[in-house]
Amino acid sequence: MKEYKLVDNVKYVISAVQKWDKLLIWILCVAVLFNAVFPYMYPIISRQVINCILRDSGYIELIYVTIGFAGVFLLLKIIYSKLNLSLWWRFFYLKNRFVINKMEKVMEIPFDSLEKREVLDMMEKAEKSTQGTNGAEGMLYSIKNSMICVVRIILSAAVMSILSPVIVAVALILSIINFKVVSRAKQMDIELLYEQKTPVDRKVGYWTRVSYDRDYAKEIRIFSLKKWIIDKLHEQEVIALGLLKCSKKNWINATLLNNIISLIQKAIVYGYVIYNTYLGKINIADFVFYTGCIMVLFDTINEIFDIFSTINKQSAEVSEYRKFMDYKNDTIKEEKYEIPAGDISIEFKNVYFKYEGQSEWAIQDLNLKLSRDKKIAIVGKNGSGKSTLIKLMCRLYEPTKGEILLNGVNINNYNKKEYYKIIAPVFQEVVVFAMTLKENVSFVKLGQEDEDKVMSAIKEAGLKERVSFMKKGLNSELLRVMDAEGEELSGGEKQKISLARALYKISVVEILDEPTAALDSLAEKKLYESINELMKKKIGVFISHRLSTTRFCDQIIYMDKGRILERGDHIQLMALEGEYSKLYKLQAQYYVD
């Protein structure tokens, strides 16, 4: 993976500024100039006041000088405050742009990548780089502060070089040594708190989410998992504490050495000025002026090298952000072929699939053809490959070997977004979003949906009666994340909403992957029979553990360990007296016909 240098990352952030807020550069430059001169106002005022006293100019001139400089200083401060406020909200806006881009990226990376530990760690690091003043936003502040420091150092060095260029050179050399000390400490911090601690933070975040996630709440209480989860969390926090202790020890040592070098540096420069004052080469007013400038120089040198160390850390964070942003997107190819408008067929040809890191095939030597106006049921025990087959069809995964064809053309040769338009899946894991019911069904902005079509889909999905009890009907908010009065739904009701989505979508392929697992057998059978009519002229794919709901299908596929063992309609498979027949008879005592 590409490595990014500090200069590359600074250019990257500056280019983002030029892209999203061109005016920011000019505001930044003006603010830097204003801020750079502030520290010199004090030695300049002090010098002028002392000269007035030494000349015995009188109180009137002294008052005029003091008020004049104070007025200028106050005016500069007011202008800078306005500029600084503008910079603050502009930096904040830019950070949000980076956050939004990261969110978009998360939703664009391949589905199977979300199961990879290295990708999850990469996402965690990218997330850290957009928190607080880390990463790009922090780098913007560091760029601003470093520009201020550069201007101040130029001014101080110009003043101090009048006394002795050698003294300026010595001060700079000692500051460089200090910079190396601080940089080494910060580099170690990056290794400890960014590289090593990130996987720990991800695990802590997981167990923290589990503790308050409602989906886990029942198991936590019924199985008394509180202590178990707290112990898991404690294990990771012990590791995190160890890393933090190492970091703190590292900084104590670095700070001690830093203070010793700074003391030597100040002793040399201040000693030189005091010595020249003692010899009479510098008067009292100039002594006050030079010592003021020396203080500014030391503070600025220490600050800029500290900024350089900080910006190196921020550069590492920006690098992690960029690495994640450079990670391959879910491929959206240019259309080589248009999606067929008429009859379509989907065919699996010698398809094999193996999950990353697994030794066994999840799908092996699969040959299957799905045609329009034909309904197919895929059945089998848990782990037989049913859901994997559906994910392959939905292009969430790509076959390890073999190919999947749409009207004889590999599905990878179609634009993925266009391909998704012809597929309406109802997955086993039901997701309901914290928005209105009609948005959950239509997935379009409020006011742009076809409300009659939404209501028809809800009716066909068997949810009409539940909607009639909702206070705001189709405009009711679901869940109580956004709205305290949001509607809470049962598992079966959530599955019906998922089904309504598929019915609302104009599609050619309807896929139902255990969509009614939360319903009883009778309700499931009744629902399947009602949607059977809706699937005419479509490819219908049903997955169910309950074999009584598959009898109306044109073909039934029985899978085991990723292979198709049996295929035929219900009567044919029962006459075969194979695995399907055995499983059907085993379940028959629970069926209600």
How far apart (Å, rounded) are the C-alpha atoms in residues 129 and 122? 11
Which range has the worst mean pLDDT, 56-65, 129-138, 204-213, 376-385?
56-65
pLDDT at 524: 66
Instruction: Give percent of the chain above pLDDT 70.
Output: 92
The pLDDT-based confidence of 348 (bands split at 50, 70, 90) is very high
CATH architecture of 6-189+251-326: Up-down Bundle (1.20)
Average pLDDT over residues 43-68: 74
pLDDT digits (tens, 9 = 90+) for 4-17: 888 899 999 999 99
The reply to whether 6-189+251-326 and 374-398+412-432+489-588 are identical in fold is no
pLDDT at 338: 84
Q: Supply the mean pLDDT for the chain.
A: 83
Higher-confidence residue of 245 and 62: namely 245
How far apart (Å, rounded) are the C-alpha atoms in residues 487 and 96? 31
pLDDT digits (tens, 9 = 90+) for 413-440: 898 888 988 898 888 778 888 889 999 8
How far apart (Å, rounded) are the C-alpha atoms in residues 369 and 444? 33
pLDDT digits (tens, 9 = 90+) for 450-462: 888 999 889 888 8
Flag whether pLDDT at 231 surpasses 70.
Answer: yes
- Which of the given ranges, 51-55, 237-241, 252-256, has the highest pLDDT on average? 237-241
CATH topology of domain 374-398+412-432+489-588: Rossmann fold (3.40.50)
**Cα four-point dihedral sign 162, 170, 142, 74:** negative
pLDDT at 300: 83
For 75, 196, 212, the CA distances from 78, given in Å and listed in that order, are 5, 45, 47
Higher-confidence residue of 436 and 337: namely 436
pLDDT at 563: 94
Which tokens hold the place of 405? 């064809």
Flag whether pLDDT at 593 surpasses 50.
Answer: no
For the chain, the domains span: 6-189+251-326, 374-398+412-432+489-588
The pLDDT-based confidence of 540 (bands split at 50, 70, 90) is confident
Q: Shortest CA distance to 516 belongs to which of 497, 495, 500, 501?
A: 495
Average pLDDT over residues 125-143: 87
pTM over 0.85: no
SS (H, E, C) 405-440: EECCEEHHHCCHHHHHHCEEEECCCCCCCCCEHHHH
Buried b (16+ CB within 10 A) or exposed e, 409-428: eebbebbeeebbebbbbbbb
DSSP 8-state code for residue 378: E
Flag whether pLDDT at 516 surpasses 70.
Answer: no
How far apart (Å, rounded) are the C-alpha atoms in residues 255 and 28? 31
The pLDDT-based confidence of 403 (bands split at 50, 70, 90) is very high
Instruction: Give percent of the chain above pLDDT 90.
Output: 16
